Amino acid sequence: MTSQRTRDRLVRRLGEQGVSDSRVLAAIAQTPRHLFVDEALAHRAYEDTALPIGSGQTISQPFVVGLMTELLMVNSPRKILEIGTGCGYQTTVLAELCDLVWTIERIPELSKRARVAWRKLGLRNVHAKLGDGYKGWPDLAPFDAIMVTAAAPDVPQVLVSQLAEGGRLVIPVGDEQQSLWVIDKTAEGISSTKHDAVHFVPMLPGVRRHTDAG
């Protein structure tokens, strides 16, 4: 159920679907997704599907994780900001590929759950906090890359401002109809590219203090 062979089968499927960066595929192969879902759903951890993680949130479909990570890693960023830690799975994939990941979550139960998984894995290059993702992490900016794992109605300009020159933002944008957008910040200015249709939970401001147990 949680063997390396099962993970490898998922990775082969992602490659067949179009995730082509060998670094990204290797990171997904090394990341034990079953540690980030409820025990009752562990037998489904290596299906290519989103799964509930409590608090009205989901762990993203592995193909979407692969796609977004591949788009983010084009310029081999070393310092990444993630908006929306969730259960910490996407964070862990990113941590396999860069020097430092700084990640923000607004739901305390999910942030705690992610930290437990990271301790089990001995992960040391992730720094997490509770906070409002719309504000980013200005004290630590600029970042080489920023990934947002919830859908915003439009691109938050404060996040664009926290990109380093040459940096890239990957974000789902839209309400009912969502698309993945890539925002590049260069010496010449800002460029935007629209990619695949996606479906994410909405990006909300503030810190959620009262939630269902996840």
Q: What's the token pair of residue 188?
A: 């010449």
Domains of the chain (ranges; CATH) run 61-198 (3.40.50.150)
Q: What letter does residue 187 receive in the DSSP assignment? A: T
Find out whether 133 and 51 touch, Cβ atoms under 8 Å: no
The amino acid present at 55, given as its one-letter code, is S
205: helix, strand or coil: coil
* Residue of 20, 55, 60, 111 with catalytic role: 60
> Residue 161 catalytic?
no
Indicate whether 213 pLDDT > 60. Answer: no
Cα-Cα-Cα-Cα torsion 108, 168, 125, 107, nearest 10 degrees, comes to: 0
Find out whether 57 and 110 touch, Cβ atoms under 8 Å: yes
The amino acid present at 23, given as its one-letter code, is R
Q: In angstroms, how far is CA 93 from the centroid of its own chain?
A: 8
Q: What is the model's pTM?
A: 0.94
pLDDT of residue 128: 98
User: Using one digit for the tens of pLDDT, what is the confidence trace for 156-205?
Assistant: 999 999 999 999 999 999 998 999 999 999 999 999 999 989 999 999 99
pLDDT category at 210 given cuts 50, 70, 90 is low
User: Using one digit for the tens of pLDDT, what is the confidence trace for 103-151?
Assistant: 999 999 999 999 999 999 999 999 999 999 999 999 999 999 999 999 9
Between CA 55 and CA 183 the distance in angstroms is 29
Q: How high does pLDDT run on average in the chain? A: 94
pLDDT category at 2 given cuts 50, 70, 90 is low
User: Using one digit for the tens of pLDDT, what is the confidence trace for 22-64?
Assistant: 999 999 999 999 999 999 999 999 999 999 999 999 999 999 9
